[in-house]
Amino acid sequence: MLKKEFKSVLGEIEHKKQILTYMQEEVATLPVDVNRNQYLKRINEIIRSLKMVNNDIRANLDDIKVERESTLSLVKDVQSVDVEVEGLVFKDTAKDKVSK
């Protein structure tokens, strides 16, 4: 049991070493003279677009809420009409001797 865990941990260590060497190679290929203002500008663009998407989502949720409420009111109307129709149908058949 302990040997299996030990082998598993050794495998994870090897895998993490490979990831470390890969990441070090990737960092080495990145340009050294990075313009901080470019990153800040890009981050601000992303934040702005996320805020716009968030506002769109909120608007859509509000629309869905309104549609849900109207659908519920229509369902209630249909149910009340259904009750009235059933009442009329059964009331008429109760009076009719032929249908009995």
Is the confidence at residue 100, as pLDDT, over 60? no
Summarize the confidence of residues 3-31 as an average pLDDT.
Answer: 88
Kindly report the CA angle at 40 between 37 and 45, in degrees rounded to 5?
A: 125
Written as one letter, the residue type at 6 is F
Spatial separation of the C-alpha atoms in residues 94 and 86, rounded to whole Å: 12
User: What's the pLDDT at 99?
Assistant: 53
In terms of domains, do 23 and 44 share one? no
User: What's the pLDDT at 39?
Assistant: 85
In terms of domains, do 1 and 25 share one? yes
Spatial separation of the C-alpha atoms in residues 26 and 97, rounded to whole Å: 91
Q: Terminus-to-terminus CA distance in the chain, angstroms?
A: 80
User: What's the pLDDT at 89?
Assistant: 80
Number of helices and strands in the chain (H, E): 2, 0
Is the confidence at residue 57, as pLDDT, over 90? yes
The model's pTM is 0.47
In terms of domains, do 46 and 68 share one? yes
In terms of domains, do 50 and 24 share one? no
Spatial separation of the C-alpha atoms in residues 34 and 81, rounded to whole Å: 70
